[in-house]
């Protein structure tokens, strides 16, 4: 009853996968505001959120998924005073296909103001098993 697990390596020099496909889902590592070149994007919360969402779009595409397949998002903000500005940009990316979401305040690595982790449903398990583990 082994399920295929596929790891997509990170292009950044950190010890984690960019994404993992398992059981019909694509799990992304938390995305922070970074440029495509791997440099931290500074600026207001809207600028940082846009950069993080652009990395999400790229990582989803690398795993064969789209934003409208995201079913769960977890958001960390450095301060809840960023909540409204974050939501402005978040809605631009997710539109009407809003996933369930949790948002918390926390200190963040690299001294950024936002980190977003998402999970997308990409279809049945490629091992041929349905979600109950039966063929």
One digit per residue, the tens of pLDDT, for the chain of length 135 reads 346 899 988 877 778 889 999 999 999 999 999 998 889 999 999 999 999 999 999 999 999 999 999 999 999 999 999 999 999 999 999 999 999 999 999 999 999 999 999 999 999 755 554 443 444
Residue 38 lies in a domain: yes
Q: Tell me if 3 is assigned to some domain.
A: no
pTM: 0.87
Q: Is 130 a domain residue?
A: no
Task: Give CA angle at 72 (107, 15), nearest 5°.
Answer: 50
Give residue 54's domain range. 16-121
- The closest alpha carbon to 88, from 25, 45, 30, 125, belongs to 45
Within-domain flag for 10: no
């Amino acid at each position: 009853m082994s399920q295929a697990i596929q790891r997509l390596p990170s292009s950044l020099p950190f010890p984690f996968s960019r994404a993992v496909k398992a059981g019909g889902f694509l799990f992304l590592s938390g995305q922070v505001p970074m440029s495509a070149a791997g440099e931290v994007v500074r600026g207001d919360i809207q600028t940082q959120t846009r950069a993080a969402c652009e990395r999400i779009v790229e990582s989803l595409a690398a795993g064969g998924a789209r934003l409208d397949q995201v079913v769960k998002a977890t958001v960390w903000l450095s301060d809840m005073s960023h909540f409204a500005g974050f939501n402005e940009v978040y809605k631009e990316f997710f539109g009407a296909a809003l996933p369930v979401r949790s948002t918390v305040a926390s200190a963040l690595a690299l001294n950024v103001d936002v980190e977003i982790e998402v999970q997308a449903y990409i279809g049945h398990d490629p091992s041929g098993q349905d979600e109950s583990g039966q063929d």
